[in-house]
Structure 1
């Protein structure tokens, strides 16, 4: 593992044992330097408050905290691998990219161009959920894994991500909710879709921008928030419109729309079989 990791580390923090030692010493505890203001309340009916139902992130000197540190250190060696490249694809911003990421799981290409109602639905979902997650992040103010350690990340700009706390993961929350939406629309593909939602969240661990427990909290968050939104009349009506649209694309795809990339589908299958734990 000669990647110069140790030479790039700051202070005394290195891999596995030294990552854990740094965490236990307080080098990765909550710091005022990571203070984050909560966003204003989201539009629409009030959603369940994750500050009540989510567990707090693992405390220092606990087995869960040690597990987070170990997983972070172990996954750094995947730099440049196929799983790393999948994580980079999953890190692309925008609802359109997230929707396209579920194409293999759906069994056909989910083209935002051909699914404007679904894309609009997911955009509104994101606009409502992001302020909720921001409030949750501000509650616990957990630093990102790389805050005190200079190790490889799959994203180029550390600064933009580092300005927000780590727990819970917004990507994992939205990825899980996207999976739930698609499962409602394509129920026969629910198992494949929710497996992809899991892999999508785990990509944030592979990237090195989240602790593993941030992701599991995001999954719980997404499940609770989607259950609440699913019961809203406006959301249910928009979901029905998206259902007609996606079924039409599935049953009558345009000739120019290519099927999902077989190599990318194989990478997703492999990622699902090798979870970062």
Structure 2
């Protein structure tokens, strides 16, 4: 994930972030499978299988989402959101996006799991490489948060939002830049964050009004 949100975090005053309490995500997410463990070897086998069967079209689809945002995750050809809906929703979710990106950054900094292609050279990514660490998957976390928020705005499309978020997460494994356990942790982080955001009745009401 391109951590544009960290730059935004550094450029926004502390007052703007005073409303947020940042989490200790280590206990929330738990440890990842250590190198050379049975679990890690199984993950590598899964990735190598996907590497063998993926197509150029699969990689092209995954590459579109190399930078994660509302448009790349939920818009575009055959997207769940129209361009007009993305423009309408994007501003309302600005602070949610920044907070989520910052939590992802802190979590990755805490775990420091190397990307799979760095420790397993037989894994050959077919999407842009990342300078950040692997665990948890930022794309998966952000996509999950967006799916939860969008499901409040447009509840009739909830299933489509979650399907799209799950596909975006899977594409990170298929593309060779994340282990499966990174994806699981990313979804878990996204749900924890979304639960916190949606516990704010004011925000939930604003999102509901947005879809009317």
TM-score, normalised to structure 1, is 0.64
Equivalence map 1:48-197=2 (5 Å): 48-100=23-75, 104=79, 106=80, 110-148=81-119, 149=121, 151-156=123-128, 158=129, 161=130, 163-197=131-165
- Contact kept? 1:102, 1:193, Cα under 8 Å: no
Q: How much has 1:114 moved relative to structure 2? A: 4.3
Larger radius of gyration: 1
Alpha-carbon distance change, 187 to 96 in structure 1, aligned in 2, over 3 angstroms:
same
2:189 to 191, 216, 221: 221
Distance, in Å, in 1 between the alignment partners of 2:203 and 2:76 is 23
Q: CA RMSD in A?
A: 2.6
Unaligned runs of 5+ in 2: 1-8
Q: Is the 8 A contact 1:172 1:201 kept in 2?
A: yes
Does structure 2 retain, via aligned residues, the 8 Å contact 1:78–1:206?
no
More helix by share: 2
Runs of 5+ in structure 1 lacking a partner? 1-38, 245-277
Q: How high is the TM-score relative to the length of structure 2?
A: 0.81
Q: Distance in 2 between matches of 1:73 and 1:150?
A: 8
Match in the other structure for 1:18 = none
Q: How many residues align?
A: 199
Shift of 1:118: 0.6
